[in-house]
A and B are shown apart, each in its own frame.
Chain A
Amino acid sequence: MTGGTDHARYVAEFMRLGKGDVNRAGGKGAALGELTRAGAKVPPGCVVTTAAFDLAVDGSVRDQARRLASGDVDDTTALADAAARLRRRVESTPLPPPVREAILRHYRELDAGPVAVRSSATAEDGADASFAGLQDTYLWVRGEDAVCTAVRRCWASLYSAESLTYRGRRGLPEDGLSMAVVVQRMVEPKAAGVMFTRSPLTGDRSVIAVEGSWGLGSALVSGDVTPDSFVVNKVTGEVLNRSVPAKLRLHRMDPSGSGVLADDVPSELREVPCLSDDEIGELVRLGRAIERHFGCPQDIEWAITEAGEVFLLQSRPETVWAAREQPPVAVPKARAFDHVLDLLGGGA
């Protein structure tokens, strides 16, 4: 095998990935690949593939994980101790040289700047969402060693006590379990948030609900802040509903250059909407394009820079309303005017 093939095997750029690559790139990695291919502006990055994980994490780790998950998961103290040891082992095992080389080569292509390192699990059927809170994400990671450490930590988070318990309780097999890791250039957002390309309240597909607050999106996701919220008509672009509450907290990069810090929002910005109407319009345009690309309503994470550049950080199918079977509102009738006759007929 040549070095180039090894690189492609262990690390893949977003552009080379699509929604069919969940096994190789995990759910998040595949979605970012698909988003990039769809033409969305996604902060550039790559995915450390499951092949890298499979090479790096040896059989004995898996064996031990299997024993732990199938043992008494309710004995929390014992499990926590064993899991912590297992985690440390994965974290401290040096990366196999071809994997390290491939990661660093791509990291240098990202100008070796600050990156986000995020776990991207392969588990399907909605478990991804449940896993989300269990696996690690590291923001503002800088430096070659720090990136490699963060990748190992992401892998290791697969063996946290919570993850093991989760799999054990649900009987999810340890065999074939693998994890990809996203390494993506950080953007420092002026504001960030989420948008649903249908109404979260009514399921209405003709509106887009945008929520956002100052700084990193983590403030909103963690519930640290009541976000601004805008309901926009997809078809006419009109903002149908606008709520701009006082936003007191924000998350931003630690001035030391790595990690995230929670801070107070400067008083003059608290009651100012975090998005201008033009920016809302741009988000809606992007949301519609992504929804069209995926063919169903989406749940999207976005960030916008001081310069007004909009990035999409994630997109996944909306699941709440999609799960509700709706009978058709109306079906065609023999003659168009039969609709009126029926309505005015008083149900006769």
Chain B
Amino acid sequence: MDKAGAFPLPSQIGDVPGAENWRSMYPYFTRFQPEDDQRFWFYNSMHFPEPISAFDAITAEVPYTAIGANTARVFAFPTTLGIEHRIVNGRVYITANPVLDPDEIARRNEVFTERAGYYYANWDRLFGEWKDRITDLIEQIESIEVPTLPEFDDAEVVTRARGIAQNHYVRENYHRCIDLFSKMWHHHTEFLMLGYGAYVVFFEFCKQAFPEIPDQTVARMVAGIDVVMYRPDDELKRLAALAVEAGVDDLFVEGCDPAKVLDALGNRGEGGTRWLAALEEAKRPWFNVSTGDGFYHHHRSWNDDLTVPFAALPRYVELARKGELRSRPTEQLKRERERIAAEYRGLLASDEEKAAFDQMLGLCRVVFPYVEDHKFYCEHWFTTQFFDRIRDFGKLLCDQGVLDTAEDIFQLHHSEIDSALADVMLAWSSGGRPLGGDHFKPIVAQRKKMLEALRDWSPPPALGPVPEALNDPAVKMLWGITSETIEAWARADDDDAVSGYAAAPGVVEGVARVLMSVNDIGQVREGEILVCPVTAPSWGPVFGKIAAAVSDIGGTMSHAAIVAREYGMPAVVGTGNATKKIRTGQRVRVDGDRGVVTVLEDGAA
């Protein structure tokens, strides 16, 4: 491979026709600079598989603010600073800033040892306190109200001598949303690198002691069983079983409309009432599961849009009728996990190695509840509530004539929303008219068109010169990206087959179904092969239907790999470009033993 010429330089990326003005959507500090051509960037398709709207740029800005602060400034990781990001044609590219000077590394290491050591030594207590802090943040974001701006302010402003009118709270409450989002992300990344660090140590030990151990087998020894991310799917199974028991199962059929089903349940007497009560109970918090990873406003939660859970229910109901609906066999999984760990331990050559194995695995199991559970609290529960609050502000702007629909607020950058709200606050106080409608409506319309145009752009997996060695721990831990991955991306471009990590064993042939978003999982037919950018827990129900899974991004820790293993189906992850090279309808072979997906024949166009 010609390393220097493998990927285009940032400056060589041209504008997409119809989206020439894309730069207006994002802040100046997200633009590629001329000197950025000297550095290696990779497309963060794991978190940003689609072009991002102006508001959603916050889901790059804030997380990188937080993770960089935690690695570079709080824990002082010795060899890595933070992650820089740039946006081009709506896609987020990132690079990590390494520390290379040995003296500097040693200096940082002193700080790091003390601080990281404190967290590891007190992990359980700190994680317990973390849960309190994060649920407190969730309560705060849920309770934020958007002022209604009536003709006359509430009497209490006078009777309690509050002295502050409603319009003040427009911006204060909006700022609180943004500030809470920032705080949430700081907590999100508080334990993250330390957690993954413990895993990487154990992983590398296993790979050295057992050179042929599959990645997913290492993960199986570590993975928790009582992971909250499995709860939403478990709740659906419970509801399916209840539907059969309460005699309302006939209402759940393929393609059913949630609103109509709910209506019908209301008229089905005691059984229907019981089911509806159980649904309400399951919804908080378990339906606060995003249909994505919390990085796009349009990834609604199950609570916002019952389509996704209701698409899964007919199948579960059918299984429940046949008595074949099983919840995760947690006891069996636990025994199996212990058996695997004990057997590998037994295969180690010396007592010293066994003792080191015990230490590393033990530490992993201490840190893993955080690694697994934080996603539900942060990316799902908090984030879906956050987007809903912003949507409420969208409704206010819509009521004030600044926007056409509440949803349009996501076409504005968070700093532009600040302006729009100032406009509204002023207009209400002066009795004038907000001027934002004239200003923002054409901008919103143009941006929507640009996002459509950008959707068809195929972003290269990486930009710039490939460095001699790519061993940044952050990049490796969070994205599974190493020099080998990058070479595989470069290779994959010359070849008909798509290659990636062999994530779950087995070989299966079938018809591909390429889905860019979990919102489309209703299209998946029984026995198809799912090809997607990345999967998240909300994709869970689809695994009951498909024969194999293929993703653009993902490694050892990826959701698709773990779930595919549990379902016993082949999976190839981290392909870099499967969604680009494979089209729905094509017949493909997924070789989960070797990590290769081959297109066998084109399906009917």
Surface stretch bound by A, among B147-155, B292-300, B343-351: B343-351
Q: Is B593 an interface residue (CB 8 A)?
A: yes
Q: Is B505 an interface residue (CB 8 A)?
A: yes
Name the CB-closest residue of A to B75: A344
Contact across chains for A339 and B363 when beta carbons are under 8 A apart: yes
Alpha-carbon gap, A83 to B215, bound state (A):
58
Q: Which residues of A contact B349 (CB under 8 A)?
A: 205, 326, 328
Residue in A207, A231, A241, A340 whose CB lies within 8 Å of B197:
A340
Q: Mark B349-374, 1 if CB is under 8 A from A, else 0.
A: 11011011111101100000000000
Surface stretch bound by B, among A29-37, A187-195, A329-337: A329-337
Contact across chains for A235 and B343 when beta carbons are under 8 A apart: yes
Q: How far is the CB of B598 from chain A (nearest CB, A)?
A: 16
Q: Is B165 an interface residue (CB 8 A)?
A: no
Q: Is A282 an interface residue (CB 8 A)?
A: no
Surface stretch bound by A, among B201-209, B255-263, B377-385: B201-209
Q: Which residues of A contact B220 (CB under 8 A)?
A: 236
Alpha-carbon gap, A336 to B116, bound state (A):
12
Contact across chains for A344 and B343 when beta carbons are under 8 A apart: no
Q: Is A346 an interface residue (CB 8 A)?
A: yes
Q: Is A204 an interface residue (CB 8 A)?
A: yes
Name the CB-closest residue of B to A238: B505
Name the CB-closest residue of A to B105: A346
Contact across chains for A339 and B201 when beta carbons are under 8 A apart: yes
Contact across chains for A233 and B356 when beta carbons are under 8 A apart: no
Alpha-carbon gap, A36 to B579, bound state (A):
55
Contact across chains for A345 and B113 when beta carbons are under 8 A apart: yes
Q: Which residues of A contact B279 (CB under 8 A)?
A: none
Alpha-carbon gap, A329 to B358, bound state (A):
13
Q: Which residues of B contact A262 (CB under 8 A)?
A: none
Q: Is B43 an interface residue (CB 8 A)?
A: no
Contact across chains for A240 and B197 when beta carbons are under 8 A apart: no
Residue in A234, A326, A329, A344 whose CB lies within 8 Å of B116:
A344
Contact across chains for A343 and B356 when beta carbons are under 8 A apart: no
Alpha-carbon gap, A346 to B593, bound state (A):
33
Take A337-B116, A340-B197 as given contacts and tell me if A240 and B593 are in contact as well, using a CB distance cutoff of 8 Å.
yes
**In chain B, residues 175-197, which have Cβ atoms closer than 8 Å to a Cβ of chain A?**
194, 197
Alpha-carbon gap, A333 to B99, bound state (A):
26
Contact across chains for A343 and B362 when beta carbons are under 8 A apart: no
Interface size class of B (residues with CB under 8 A): 35 or more
Take A339-B359, A343-B204, A344-B473 as given contacts and tell me if A236 and B109 are in contact as well, using a CB distance cutoff of 8 Å.
no
Q: Which residues of B contact A346 (CB under 8 A)?
A: 78-79, 99, 105, 109
Name the CB-closest residue of A to B110: A348
Q: Which residues of B contact A5 (CB under 8 A)?
A: none
Q: Which residues of A contact B77 (CB under 8 A)?
A: 344
Contact across chains for A330 and B353 when beta carbons are under 8 A apart: yes
Contact across chains for B211 and A204 when beta carbons are under 8 A apart: yes
Q: Which residues of A contact B359 (CB under 8 A)?
A: 332-333, 336, 339
Q: Is B217 an interface residue (CB 8 A)?
A: yes
Name the CB-closest residue of B to A332: B355
Interface size for A (C-beta < 8 A) is: 36
Take A234-B343, A235-B344, A337-B198 as given contacts and tell me if A348 and B105 are in contact as well, using a CB distance cutoff of 8 Å.
yes
Q: Which residues of B contact A330 (CB under 8 A)?
A: 205, 208, 352-353, 356-357, 360
Q: Is B106 an interface residue (CB 8 A)?
A: yes
Alpha-carbon gap, A206 to B214, bound state (A):
11
Total contacts A to B, CB within 8 angstroms?
136
Residue in B106, B116, B117, B211 whose CB lies within 8 Å of A202:
B211
Take A329-B353, A345-B78, A346-B105 as given contacts and tell me if A239 and B505 are in contact as well, using a CB distance cutoff of 8 Å.
yes
Contact across chains for A206 and B79 when beta carbons are under 8 A apart: no
**In chain A, residues 304-348, which have Cβ atoms closer than 8 Å to a Cβ of chain B?**
326, 328-333, 335-337, 339-341, 343-346, 348
Q: Is A218 an interface residue (CB 8 A)?
A: no
Contact across chains for B505 and A240 when beta carbons are under 8 A apart: yes
Take A341-B116, A344-B78, A346-B78 as given contacts and tell me if A235 and B197 are in contact as well, using a CB distance cutoff of 8 Å.
no
Alpha-carbon gap, A234 to B344, bound state (A):
9
Q: Is A199 an interface residue (CB 8 A)?
A: yes
Alpha-carbon gap, A242 to B593, bound state (A):
8
Take A240-B505, A329-B353 as given contacts and tell me if A206 and B347 are in contact as well, using a CB distance cutoff of 8 Å.
yes
Q: Which residues of A contact B356 (CB under 8 A)?
A: 328-333, 339
Q: How far is the CB of B192 from chain A (nearest CB, A)?
A: 13
**In chain B, residues 312-353, which have Cβ atoms closer than 8 Å to a Cβ of chain A?**
339-340, 343-344, 347, 349-350, 352-353
Alpha-carbon gap, A341 to B349, bound state (A):
25
Q: Which residues of B contact A235 (CB under 8 A)?
A: 217, 339-340, 343-344, 347
Contact across chains for B344 and A206 when beta carbons are under 8 A apart: yes
Alpha-carbon gap, A341 to B201, bound state (A):
10
Alpha-carbon gap, A240 to B204, bound state (A):
19
Contact across chains for B352 and A332 when beta carbons are under 8 A apart: yes
In the complex, which of the residues A203, A328, A333 has the most CB atoms of chain B within 10 Å of its own CB atom? A328
Alpha-carbon gap, A205 to B355, bound state (A):
18
Contact across chains for A340 and B352 when beta carbons are under 8 A apart: no
Q: How far is the CB of B498 from chain A (nearest CB, A)?
A: 20
**In chain B, residues 423-476, which have Cβ atoms closer than 8 Å to a Cβ of chain A?**
473
Contact across chains for B105 and A341 when beta carbons are under 8 A apart: no
Q: How far is the CB of B401 from chain A (nearest CB, A)?
A: 54
Alpha-carbon gap, A344 to B102, bound state (A):
13
Q: Mark A205-216, 1 if CB is under 8 A from B, else 0.
A: 111000000000
Q: Is B130 an interface residue (CB 8 A)?
A: no
Alpha-carbon gap, A138 to B204, bound state (A):
49
Name the CB-closest residue of A to B220: A236
Contact across chains for B121 and A335 when beta carbons are under 8 A apart: yes
Q: Is B306 an interface residue (CB 8 A)?
A: no
Contact across chains for A348 and B109 when beta carbons are under 8 A apart: yes
Alpha-carbon gap, A344 to B355, bound state (A):
21
Q: Which residues of B contact A336 (CB under 8 A)?
A: 120, 359-360, 362-363
Name the CB-closest residue of B to A203: B211
Name the CB-closest residue of A to B592: A238
Q: Which residues of A contact B121 (CB under 8 A)?
A: 335, 337
Alpha-carbon gap, A335 to B122, bound state (A):
13
Name the CB-closest residue of B to A344: B197
Q: How far is the CB of A323 from chain B (nearest CB, A)?
A: 14
Contact across chains for A206 and B213 when beta carbons are under 8 A apart: yes
Take A235-B217, A332-B352, A348-B109 as given contacts and tell me if A340 and B347 are in contact as well, using a CB distance cutoff of 8 Å.
no
Contact across chains for B363 and A344 when beta carbons are under 8 A apart: no
Contact across chains for B353 and A328 when beta carbons are under 8 A apart: yes
Q: Is B210 an interface residue (CB 8 A)?
A: yes
Q: Which residues of A contact B347 (CB under 8 A)?
A: 205-206, 234-235
In the complex, which of the residues B197, B347, B350, B355 has the most CB atoms of chain A within 10 Å of its own CB atom? B347
Contact across chains for A341 and B593 when beta carbons are under 8 A apart: no
Q: Is B250 an interface residue (CB 8 A)?
A: no
Contact across chains for B217 and A339 when beta carbons are under 8 A apart: no
Contact across chains for B201 and A331 when beta carbons are under 8 A apart: no
Alpha-carbon gap, A331 to B353, bound state (A):
6
Q: Please provide the 9 A-B residue pairs with the shortest distance between their CB atoms, ordered closest to farther.
A: A337-B120, A336-B359, A332-B355, A330-B356, A202-B211, A346-B79, A348-B109, A336-B363, A206-B210
28 A/B residue pairs, CB under 8 Å, sorted by A: A205-B210, A206-B210, A206-B212, A206-B344, A207-B212, A235-B340, A235-B344, A236-B220, A238-B214, A238-B505, A240-B593, A329-B209, A332-B355, A332-B356, A336-B360, A339-B356, A340-B201, A340-B363, A341-B113, A341-B116, A343-B204, A343-B473, A344-B116, A345-B109, A345-B112, A346-B78, A346-B79, A346-B99
* Apart from the given pairs A206-B213, A235-B217, A343-B197, 4 other A-B contacts in the complex at a CB distance below 8 Å: A241-B593, A332-B355, A340-B201, A344-B112
